[in-house]
Chains A and B, each alone.
Chain A
Amino acid sequence: MSAVEVPSQAKRLAPALADAISQSMRDDPRVIVWGEDVRIGVMGPTRGLVDEFGPERVVDCPISEAAFVGAAVGAAVGGLRPVVDIMFSSFAYVAFDQLVNQAGRLRYMTGGQLAVPLVVVGSAGAAGSNAAQHSEVPSALFLQAGGLRVVFPSTPHQAFWLMRAAIESEDPVVVLHHPALGAARGSVSPEPLGLGDAEVDPVGTDVSVFATGLMAQRARAAARSLEPEGISVEVVDVCSLSPMPWDAILGSVEKTGRAVVVDEGRLTCSVASEIAAGLAERAFGALRTGIRRLAVPDVPIPFAPNLEQAVIPDENDIAAAAREIVRG
C-alpha cells in the first residue's frame, strides 16, 4: 500500500470521508462503492468518486437495502472490500437482518472461517427538521448487535482516518457521520487515528465530558464557555464506539473525578448508559460525585424546529450539567 496522502487543505467532514475512500480505491482495486445515489453522492461521502473511478466501481443501486447490504456481505466474503453508502443510517433498519444476523454473525458462527470486510456509511443525527425517520443516531443499536465495529467522527481529521481504518479492517464497520457537521471545516493532520481510539480535546481537570459526533462539537463549545467561570472541562471524543476506548475514558475520570456523558441517541440503553455503567463499575473509587447522562428523552425526533431543539442536548445543557456537578 502506498503512503497515505493527507489532504493538504482544510476540509469539511463529508469530503474528508470521500478523500479517504478515494485513496483506498487508488490503493486497492478490491474497494468498490455502492448504495443509494452514490454517483451523485447525495450525502457527501461518495461525491466525486465516479469521476475518477467510473460507474464500474461506483455503483448506483435500487432502493433495496436488504439486497445491496446482503450482496455487499457476499462480495466481502468473496474477496472484495465494499463500501456501502446507505444514505441515512436509519435506513439500515430495512437491512437489519443483513447487518446484524449476517454481517455481524458470519465470522463467529463459522468458527472464524469467513471474514466480512464491509463498510456501511450513513448519516446520523438531526440536521434540521427531517423528523422521526431520518434524524436518529442509532449507534447504540449497532453496538448491541455485536460483531459490528462502529465509528462516529466529529471532525474532518477523524473522518479521514477512521474511514481509512474502516476500509482496512477485516470486520464489518458502520461509519456514522452527522449531517449538521457538514459545514465545519478542519485540517487533517498526518497523525493517524484508528479503530479503538478517542481524542481528548481540550484537556481539563475538573470534569470529563464524553460525547461523539455533533455532541462532541457541542461539548467543546461548552468547555470554551465554562473557561471564564474557571471550570476546566476535559472533552473525550469517543469517535470509536466499537472498540470502545475504555483506557481513555477511565483515565480521564481517574483524573477529573467527574463525568457527564452526552448522547444524541435515546436515553434508554444508550451509548451514554453504557459509558456511565462502565465508569460506575470500573472507576467508582475515582468518582467524587454521581455521573450525569444527557441524551434524547425516550421519544422519536419531532419535526417542528423548536420541538427538535427541545429533545437534543445543546451547548447550554452540557455546560449546565458540567457546572452543576463541579459546583455541586
Chain B
Amino acid sequence: MIRRVTMRVFWRRHARRFMLPAGGLVITGLMLLPIYFTAETSFEPTSALQALSQSLVPSHFIFSNYRVAFDVEHGSIITSLLIALGAVVLSIGVALPASYGLTKLGYLQSRAIVSVAIMVLLVTQMVPGISLTLAFYKLFLHFHLLNSIAGLILADSTTGMPFATLVLRAYMGSIPVELSDAAYVDGASEWRTFRSVVAPLAVPAIITAGLFVFLFAWGDFLYAYTLTAGGNVTPLTKGLLSFFANNTVNWGPVLATVVLAAVPSGLILSFGQRYVMGGLRAGALKG
C-alpha cells in the first residue's frame, strides 16, 4: 500500500520530466517522417523498384543524386532565386511606404480610409490565384511578359505585397508616434522622417515580411506553371514537376531536388525562427 502511494508520488513528480518530452518527440517524429525519409533516401543509391528505403540510416552515403539534380536544375534554381529576390524588392518597395502612409493617415483624420485600405488588403489575400491568372495570361501575352522573370515577379507579388503591407503596418503602429513627430518638429520632411526614423526602426518587421515574401515566391507553382507555358524560363517548382514526371527510372535525383527546393525553408527556420513565428501570428491575427 505504502509502496503504491510512493510509486504514485514518484510517477506524478517525474512523469512530466520524461513522458512529456518523449511524447513530444513521437509527435514531431511522425510529422517529420516523410521529410526524414526524403532527405535520407536522397543520399542513397536508388532505383524505381525501391522507391523510398525503409531504413533509418543510409546504407551507402553518396552525393551522386545531388550531382544529377544540380546538372538538371541549376538553371531553375537561379531563375527561382531571381524571381524570389525580385518579388521581395518589389513587394517591400511598395509595401514599406504604403504602410508608413497608412499608419500616419490613421493618426490624422482619415481613419475610415485606413480601415477601408486594410480591409481591401485583407480581401486581396483571399482572392484565389487561379481567378487572377486567366487575366494575367492575356495581359502578359499582350505586354510580352509571358515566359519572363519580370512577369513572374509581378505575379508573385500578388501574394507578397498585401501580406507585407499588413505585417509592416501592424508593426509601425507599435512604434511610438512621438519619435516621428519629434523629427517632424525638427523640420524633417515626411520623406525624411520615413527614411531616417521610421524605416530603420521597422527593420525587424521588414525582415519578417521579406522572408515570407521570399518563401511565397520561391514556392509559387501556380503562376510558374501557367505563365511560362512552353518557354525557357523554368522556376524550380515547375522544374521539379517535369523532372518528377519524366523520371520514372530513378527517384534519387528527384528527391535530391526536393531537398534543394526545401533549402530556403530550412535556412529560414534555423536563422529566422523568431521572425517566422512573428510573421505567422501578425499576418493571421493582427491584420
Physical interaction between A and B: no
Interface residues of B (CB under 8 A from A): none
